[in-house]
Amino acid sequence: MALNVLDATVGELRAGLLEGRLTSEHIVSEYFSQIERHNINGLGVRALISTAPRESVLTQARALDAERKEKGPRGPFHGIPILIKASSMGMATTFGSAALIDAMATENAAVVDLILDAGMILLGKTSISEFNNYKATPPNTGGWSSAGNQGQSPYVVGGVSANATFLGHSTPCGSSSGSAIGVAAGFAPIALGAETDGSIVQPCSRAGLYALKPTPGTVSVANVLAGTTFDAVGPMARTAKDVADMVGLLMGEDFTGVLKGSWQGIKVGIVQYEPWAPAPFVVEPVDEFTTQVKDEMRQAAEKIRKMGGAVVEDVTLSPFWEYADFMTSRGIDADSFWGDYSHSRYGLRDVFDALMTKFETAKVRTLAEMIQYHRTHADTCLPAGHSSQAGLESLLEEKVNPKFEEIIKEMREEARARIDGALDKFGVDVILSQSDGRMASLAAAAGYAVSALPLGYANFNGRAWGVNAVAGARGEAKMLELMSVWEATFPDARQSPPQLRETSNPAL
């Protein structure tokens, strides 16, 4: 029985397993076939840096099939395949660097152990913007790494353009690029990414998926190349239910009850477009696309009203550049501040060096050795167009600011005041912005959760786009509630990539 790997959801696969129409062994085989067709071959999306050994995975799948038959399922993810970002320990772990190809960790990330205990089947480690997009200054194009080459959006014909800005319209964004590409390309029904500032929600918006970055501190980042102040591990999937179930597993909470599929009790605010438009050096402006986004956002607001929802348009929420001005007024260089703090720069060198003690085999053991390896193997690690590792080099000279905690506290208070103030002023539960903006940055500064919801596809190049949402402190439940009714209101917002439809299995 062939699977429609481009559209199958965790819920559909679970139903097929429980009803005996499917086995995990068969499901895994279908996904491996799709990976073989289009990861390096075919469309060459390069979503995966490493794939789990097929025979050992099939053996695991057969064991889980037998366990389900004998004892029943462990839970909603029993026998379901998953992909995970290459910044998490487990299997071959590269953090995107060719220096760590074939490096094997002796410990898993805590989230890897969690999903394996839930009966999930890890198919592979996904490509990332190398070193969580902190390797180069200015950053490399989203989705590029020396270990995985350039990840490609399955929606954009021709792939990343030669003159693309680092998060340009033809890129898949990053840094959790491969996780989003992998689900969109039918390599698995769900994946995990990790985010400091947009690394889950922006790639998902380019892949037509639903996603949620939980509140930092609510999901373990043990054995993940991440900090604890801003970072979180979160899911990306095709439905609100699949995201909610995974967020529940990661956080140890049950969010099933919030998936009401109704606009009753939800009031949505939409920020003004211009203040939240991306900077030209981040995403190159395309007038046609800007007009399309504005028009379709207005149409979305009108449809929500027709479905019984309440919408406030043109919500005034201080955009990120005004927030940066606030930091400057406190005597802090806003640009270096965001690099230093939001990207968890302080302590990142120590996190990396500590993780490297947990590798059985590796060509390098410290950040300094990795930097030198890159220089020695520049043809692979620092090729033309990607020749900078200035971000990594700056870490070697890092001196922790003694006012770190004080600055973080002030930053949090200001960011929260701005978000909470807008929620209160306009009487809304959730604030939305177009997905190329910096809503994820403001959410990161506040220490709030942020989510991604799909909405449309660019007329000029086919790229997916959507909205990012923030709902204040511990806003996971409200955003998942919104996600469920959004899915019901905009059923065509998530579509499989047209380029892959003819070469992927047609029926579930």
* 8 A C-beta contact, residue 180 and residue 464: no
C-alpha 488, offset from chain centre: 22
pLDDT digit string, tens, across residues 206-220? 999 999 999 999 999
**Mean pLDDT, residues 261-272 taken together:** 96
- Told to judge if 496 belongs to the known catalytic residues of this protein, a careful annotator would answer no
pLDDT band at 342 (very low <50, low <70, confident <90, very high): very low
Helix (H) or strand (E) holding 266: none
- The pLDDT, as a whole number, for residue 332 is 61
- The pLDDT, as a whole number, for residue 396 is 81
| Angle, alpha carbons 1-52-222 (nearest 5°) | 120
pLDDT band at 323 (very low <50, low <70, confident <90, very high): low
**Dist. CA 442–CA 363, nearest whole Å:** 38
Least confident among 222-231, 382-391, 407-416, 498-507: 498-507
**Mean pLDDT, residues 383-392 taken together:** 94
Q: Who wins on pLDDT, 282 or 1?
A: 282
- The pLDDT, as a whole number, for residue 408 is 80
pLDDT at 345 over 70: no
Q: Which residues contact 218 (CB under 8 A, 6 or more apart)?
A: 232, 250, 251, 476
Which of 199, 220, 451, 504 is labelled catalytic? 199
Amino acid of residue 214: P
* pTM score of the predicted model: 0.96
- The pLDDT, as a whole number, for residue 334 is 54
Q: pLDDT exceeding 90 applies to what percent of the chain? A: 79
* 8 A C-beta contact, residue 163 and residue 225: no
**Mean pLDDT, residues 126-150 taken together:** 94
**Dist. CA 164–CA 150, nearest whole Å:** 12
* 8 A C-beta contact, residue 170 and residue 164: yes
pLDDT at 117 over 90: yes
pLDDT digit string, tens, across residues 452-461? 999 999 999 9
Amino acid of residue 360: E
Beta-carbon count within 10 A of 305 CB: 13
Q: pLDDT exceeding 70 applies to what percent of the chain? A: 93
What DSSP string runs through 493-507?
SS---GGGGGGS---
pLDDT at 506 over 60: no
Which of 129, 153, 170, 175 is labelled catalytic? 175
The token pair that represents 59 in the structure block: 């053996």
Return the domain boundaries, the chain: 10-503
Q: Please provide the distance, in angstroms rounded to a whole number, between the alpha carbons at the two ends of the chain.
A: 7
CATH number of 10-503: 3.90.1300.10
pLDDT band at 355 (very low <50, low <70, confident <90, very high): very high
- The pLDDT, as a whole number, for residue 507 is 47
Specify the pairing of strand 81-85 against strand 121-126. Answer: parallel
pLDDT at 401 over 70: no
Nearest 10 degrees: Cα torsion 106, 389, 145, 433 = 110
The token pair that represents 464 in the structure block: 């997916």
pLDDT band at 343 (very low <50, low <70, confident <90, very high): very low
235, β-bridge pairs? 192
- Most confident listed range (4-13, 221-230, 316-325): 4-13
Nearest in space to 201 (alpha carbons), one of 499, 495, 483: 483
Burial-class residue 88 by CB neighbours within 10 Å (0-12, 13-18, 19+).
Answer: buried
- Told to judge if 267 belongs to the known catalytic residues of this protein, a careful annotator would answer no
**Mean pLDDT, residues 35-53 taken together:** 97
pLDDT digit string, tens, across residues 430-445? 999 999 998 998 999 8
- Told to judge if 85 belongs to the known catalytic residues of this protein, a careful annotator would answer yes
Least confident among 85-94, 364-373, 492-501: 85-94
pLDDT at 337 over 60: no
Q: Work out the mean pLDDT of the chain and round it to a whole number.
A: 92
DSSP state of 276: G
pLDDT digit string, tens, across residues 442-454? 999 899 999 999 9
pLDDT at 467 over 80: yes
